[in-house]
Amino acid sequence: MDISGTATMITGASRGLGQALALELARQGARLVLVSRHLAGLQPVVRRIREAGGEAHALEADIGAKDEVYPLAGAAAALVGPIDLLIHNASELGPTPLRLLLDTECEDFERVLAVNLLGPFRLSRVIAGSMALRERGTIVHVSSDASVNAYSHWGAYSVSKAALDHLSRLWAAELGERGVRSFSVDPGEMDTEMHRAALPDANPATLLQPSVVASRIAALIRANTVESGARLELNSAGAQS
Amino acid sequence: MKAASQPRARDEQERLLVIDPARDAFADYQIDALPQFFRQGDALVLNDAATLPASLRAGPDLELRLMSELEDGTWLALCLGRGDYRIPTEERGAPPQLALGDELCFGHGLSARVRWLDPSSSRLLRIEFEQRGGQLWQALYRAAAPIQYAYVPAPLALWDVQNAYAARPWAFELPSAGKPLRFETLFRIAARGVTLASLTHAAGLSSTGDPTLDARLPVAERYELSHETATRLRAAQANGGRIIAVGTSVTRALEAASASGVLRGGMQRTELLLGAGSRLRTCAGLLTGLHEPGTSHFSLLEAYAPRPLLERAIHHAQRQGYLQHEFGDSCLILKGSLNVGDTKRAAEWRQAG
């Protein structure tokens, strides 16, 4: 898909990988709607993109809140037109330090599923109908290696990402014939605030920079060779496996 | 005809009245049966406008209903006085007298200034919002509610008034002909070799509650038909395919876009009115709701089928308990839609006719 001029929505865009994706896709000419729970966190990103001559708009929304999905999708389409590239990047780890399932409150588990799974489903459901009608569109799900590995303490997050991977495959199965692509990406371990919250003792030198990961994801979006429904791993060596 | 008083329950099927002007006949179906009436090479055109929450309150005595977004960035709006949608629009009191430059505050950080007052009606004005860009859209979605009427008693949520394939929020009321269309049905239609296509039309208010203002409806409404879609539709027509419009708004947009004789893409405004005697250059069929004689929507149907047939069909629908308005049942008007070989149905037509 040609990124230049593409109406794009990125959730969780105020920091980490979301912010890096915003900057990278703006550099490649995407017309961006950036979403975060906190408008204040988005404003510096929007400013930076606009100063560099790009187009970006900030919208405040909680992806886990049912009532906020239609207003978000409507405002986004009003600002940049029908969304052709939707990146589900917003993610909720749950309370940190991470805890055993037996110590996990049900409400915390539900909240993680609301943000990481139900939110992406609801948002895609509102946006992908128009993609299917127009026979164009790409949906990217940011996953994790916790979706395929049962790491102790990663309970709700791990379950939500496994389900998200499968949601991505199902969109691909149902919308492939209508020209809509869906894939999930395991970005690998990155030097982000979320990673520090989950694993405070990790050595930053062993971690990927979000900007590097963002340019690899942008390459996957551009490449028409990526099979719809695929789960792609970007490991620390940079090779795609 | 009875009004549908709420959005449909999840698994409740809309009814489909199929009217075939070629056979001077009609028959009853369910919306699931829709795909069978199309053939390979046809094109179904949908209005992909999302519905804005277009009802704003500036205090207990003033409701503004947005009607149109104009080129200069102002918005045409209808003013209604005390009360809310539960009171029939025609019984709403007069709105307070406003002056040019007055500021209207709608809450949630949304405000506007009065920029123009209609010389002949205190109910019509233009406003300019004081917010821009993301701030405007976010505040509008927080402050406003969907426009609704007294025949739907419970407050509507934003998702109640969206079609499944909606994108840009251009419509002020739900382009309701598309509401019964589930993707299951749309994909089955596509699988028959029918092109699914879309345009965006800013469907406006259906009623103002004031007969002199109603006579001025519809106001000029903008639409956009992409050049790519126009090309696909011309190709479908050239190959003998029929263009079927989903909704009166799509009919008006497509006929306006082909007023020159050739269907052309682009962004335009139209106040085209169609009725008996109008020559349809593009649309061969229409999927719409049930409209009663005397309404402007019914007049438009007369461009597709003769009035006596429409009247018979509508009276039949009334007797059969079909529902009207935005959550109501559907009606397909398409020449050659009814198959004479289907004897069971043929018996029903005789009875119906």
In a domain, A241, yes or no: no
Per DSSP, what are the bridge partners of residue B55? Answer: B65, B145
In a domain, A233, yes or no: no
Please give the tally of structural domains in chain A.
Answer: 1
Residue type, B223: Y
- Fold assignment, B2-51+156-352: QueA-like (3.40.1780)
In a domain, A25, yes or no: yes
pLDDT digits (tens, 9 = 90+) for A150-205: 999 999 999 999 999 999 999 999 999 999 999 999 999 999 999 999 999 999 99
Closest residue to B141, CB basis, from A75, A83, A178: A75
The residues, ordered by sequence, that sit 6+ positions from A62 with a Cβ below 8 Å of its Cβ are A37, A68, A115
pLDDT for B343 beyond 80 = no
pLDDT for B120 beyond 70 = yes
Domain span including residue A53: 7-225
pLDDT digits (tens, 9 = 90+) for B186-222: 999 999 999 999 999 999 998 999 999 988 888 899 9
Average pLDDT over residues B333-338: 94
Average pLDDT over residues B3-8: 93
**Is B55-143 a CATH 2.40.10 domain?**
yes
Helix (H, G, I), strand (E, B) or coil at B224: strand
Q: Kindly identify which residue of chain A lies nearest to residue B170, measuring between CA atoms.
A: A78
Helix (H, G, I), strand (E, B) or coil at B173: coil
Mean pLDDT of chain A: 95
Q: Which residues of B touch A (CB under 8 A)?
A: 46, 48, 50, 52, 133-134, 137-138, 140-142, 158-159, 162, 164-169, 183, 186-187, 190, 196-198
| List of chain A residues whose C-beta atoms are within 8 Å of the C-beta of residue B159 | 70
Instruction: Say if the ipTM goes beyond 0.90.
Output: yes
Q: Kindly identify which residue of chain B lies nearest to residue A42, measuring between CA atoms.
A: B134
- Distance in angstroms (rounded) separating the CA atoms of residues B230 and B98: 44
What is the predicted pLDDT for the residue at B350? 54
Count the neighbouring beta carbons within 10 Å of the beta carbon of residue A223. Answer: 10
Q: How many CA atoms lie within 13 A of B233 on its CB side?
A: 28
Average pLDDT over residues A63-87: 98
Residue B122, both tokens: 């205190």
- Match 């799900």 to its residue by tokens: A141
Q: Kindly identify which residue of chain B lies nearest to residue A132, measuring between CA atoms.
A: B165
| List of chain A residues whose C-beta atoms are within 8 Å of the C-beta of residue B168 | 77-78, 81-82
User: A129 touching B, CB under 8 A?
Assistant: yes
pLDDT for B111 beyond 80 = yes
Contact of B3 with B88, CB cutoff 8 Å: no
User: A60 touching B, CB under 8 A?
Assistant: yes
Which CATH number does the domain housing residue A102 bear? Answer: 3.40.50.720
What is the predicted pLDDT for the residue at A3? 97
Q: pLDDT-derived band of residue B12, with 50, 70 and 90 as boundaries?
A: confident
What is the predicted pLDDT for the residue at B352? 55
pLDDT digits (tens, 9 = 90+) for A81-128: 999 999 999 999 999 999 999 999 999 999 999 999 999 999 999 999
Domain boundaries defined on chain B: 2-51+156-352, 55-143
